[in-house]
């Protein structure tokens, strides 16, 4: 298999950083109430190419322009990857997921602007953006590993329970991301500015109650903390053969604690923008690590076929 060139690896890393900026800016867009800074106009901003001189319009316009530019980068990266390392199933799939989900993100983003009272759509939009980022970041890591190792980086199999836990963790993480985006979109966080309990309102069965929304998000964060610790304990059991999984899950534990701490900081700072950005950056990296765990527990694509091919071409096989 052809090794990816240094320029391709560098381009993937730059694209990852640019997409990270898009994700963070998207959350800032929502947290500052700038999602409608350009009104119900798309792709123009209030009917004009350039935004009006107000902060909300500038934030929304900047998010749109940066998203469009990064969309081009992701498209080039996907095509370049398919041409250069087309024999790697993992690399091809990651490139495809990154491009497809970024395209869906742009479509859902436009839908969120055109549909009134679309907080649920905005939350889905941000979750899709994280999926695209995770795929791009994993692709960049995969290309770097292939270049360093001179081929497809292999990985031993893991117990079925660990594989199920890793994928369950990814689903749970996505749900928490969605809840967090929904909290930001509905401004539910401002209804509960004490921690860990809320003294400013009562929890009800109605999901339209902002206190209930915020409580559900906090409870989900605690569940993620327990699930991350359980995943780390399972990964430690296979650390001898899969040190990569033990290392990733260890970082997940650290980042989960940091994420909960940033949630506390968010409450104490009365939802300050810098605390919001920190909270978003941490969950973006944490979600990406969870995706790396889910990818890492999958059976190596084509591994059995490659082993059979290697065995057939070995001297012992030929002698037989």
Whether 1 and 45 share a structural domain: yes
Q: Above 90 in pLDDT, residue 212?
A: no
Q: Above 80 in pLDDT, residue 228?
A: yes
- The residue count of the chain comes to 320
What is the predicted pLDDT for the residue at 117?
Answer: 54
Inside any domain, residue 233: yes
Q: What is the pLDDT of residues 78-106, one digit of tens each?
A: 999 998 887 778 888 999 999 998 888 87
Q: What percent of the chain has pLDDT over 90?
A: 38
Indicate the SS3 state at residue 48: strand
What is the predicted pLDDT for the residue at 226?
Answer: 95
Nearest to 105 by CA among 58, 49, 51, 66: 66
Inside any domain, residue 50: yes
Inside any domain, residue 317: no
Inside any domain, residue 306: no
Q: How many Cβ atoms are within 10 Å of 195's Cβ, its own excluded? A: 14
Mean pLDDT to the nearest integer, 54-69 = 88
Of 26-35, 241-250, 299-308, highest mean pLDDT = 241-250
What is the predicted pLDDT for the residue at 70?
Answer: 93
What is the predicted pLDDT for the residue at 283?
Answer: 92
Inside any domain, residue 103: yes
CA distance readout (Å), 52 to 99, 115, 116, 233, 286? 31, 22, 21, 53, 36
For residue 215 the two structure tokens come to 């409580």
Inside any domain, residue 166: yes
Decide if 60 is catalytic: yes
Whether 130 and 161 share a structural domain: no
Whether 176 and 197 share a structural domain: yes
Q: Above 70 in pLDDT, residue 163?
A: yes
Whether 115 and 171 share a structural domain: no
Whether 81 and 202 share a structural domain: no
Q: Above 80 in pLDDT, residue 126?
A: no
What is the predicted pLDDT for the residue at 1?
Answer: 53
Whether 81 and 64 share a structural domain: yes
What is the predicted pLDDT for the residue at 146?
Answer: 81
Residue 114 — φ and ψ, nearest 5°?
-80, -20
Whether 1 and 69 share a structural domain: yes
Higher pLDDT residue, 237 or 214? 237
Boundary (domain end) residue, out of 108, 138, 153: 153
Q: Above 70 in pLDDT, residue 147?
A: yes
- How many domains does the chain divide into? 2
Inside any domain, residue 252: yes
Predicted confidence band of residue 205 (pLDDT cuts 50, 70, 90): low
Q: Are 38 and 113 in contact (CB under 8 A)?
A: yes
Mean pLDDT to the nearest integer, 42-53 = 81
Q: Above 90 in pLDDT, residue 208?
A: no
Whether 126 and 14 share a structural domain: yes
CA angle 239, 240, 242 (to 5 degrees): 55
What is the predicted pLDDT for the residue at 316?
Answer: 43
What is the predicted pLDDT for the residue at 311?
Answer: 47
Inside any domain, residue 315: no
Whether 176 and 206 share a structural domain: yes
Whether 141 and 13 share a structural domain: yes
Q: Which of 60, 90, 105, 300 is catalytic?
A: 60
Q: Above 80 in pLDDT, residue 235?
A: yes
Domain that holds residue 117: 1-153
Whether 131 and 8 share a structural domain: yes
Boundary (domain end) residue, out of 153, 171, 196: 153
Q: Above 60 in pLDDT, residue 314?
A: no
Distance CA 292, CA 159 (A): 17
Whether 126 and 184 share a structural domain: no
């Amino acid at each position: 298999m052809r090794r990816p060139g240094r320029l391709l690896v560098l381009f993937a890393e730059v694209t990852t950083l640019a997409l990270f900026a898009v994700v963070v800016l998207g959350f800032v867009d929502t947290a500052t109430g700038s999602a409608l800074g350009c009104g119900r106009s798309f792709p123009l901003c209030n009917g004009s190419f350039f935004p009006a001189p107000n902060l909300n319009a500038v934030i929304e316009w900047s998010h749109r322009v940066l998203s469009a530019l990064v969309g081009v980068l992701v498209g080039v990266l996907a095509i370049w990857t398919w041409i250069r390392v087309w024999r790697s199933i993992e690399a091809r799939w990651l490139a495809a997921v990154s491009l497809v989900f970024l395209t869906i993100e742009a479509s859902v983003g436009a839908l969120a602007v055109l549909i009134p009272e679309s907080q649920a759509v905005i939350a889905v939009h941000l979750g899709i953006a994280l999926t695209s980022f995770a795929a791009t970041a994993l692709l960049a890591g995969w290309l770097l590993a292939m270049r360093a190792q001179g081929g497809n980086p292999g990985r031993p199999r893991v117990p079925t329970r660990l594989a199920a836990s890793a994928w369950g963790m990814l689903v749970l993480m996505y749900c928490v991301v969605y809840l967090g985006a929904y909290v930001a979109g509905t401004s539910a966080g401002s209804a509960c500015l004490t921690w860990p309990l809320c003294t400013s309102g009562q929890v009800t069965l109605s999901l339209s109650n902002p206190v209930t929304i915020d409580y559900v998000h906090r409870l989900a964060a605690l569940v993620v903390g327990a699930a991350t610790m359980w995943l780390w304990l399972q990964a430690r059991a296979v650390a001898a053969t899969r040190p990569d999984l033990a290392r990733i899950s260890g970082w997940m534990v650290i980042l989960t604690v940091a994420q909960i701490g940033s949630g506390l900081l968010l409450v104490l700072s009365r939802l300050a923008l810098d605390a919001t950005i920190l909270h978003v950056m941490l969950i973006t990296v944490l979600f990406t690590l969870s995706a790396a765990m889910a990818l890492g527990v999958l059976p190596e694509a084509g591994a059995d076929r490659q082993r059979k091919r290697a065995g057939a071409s070995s001297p012992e096989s030929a002698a037989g």
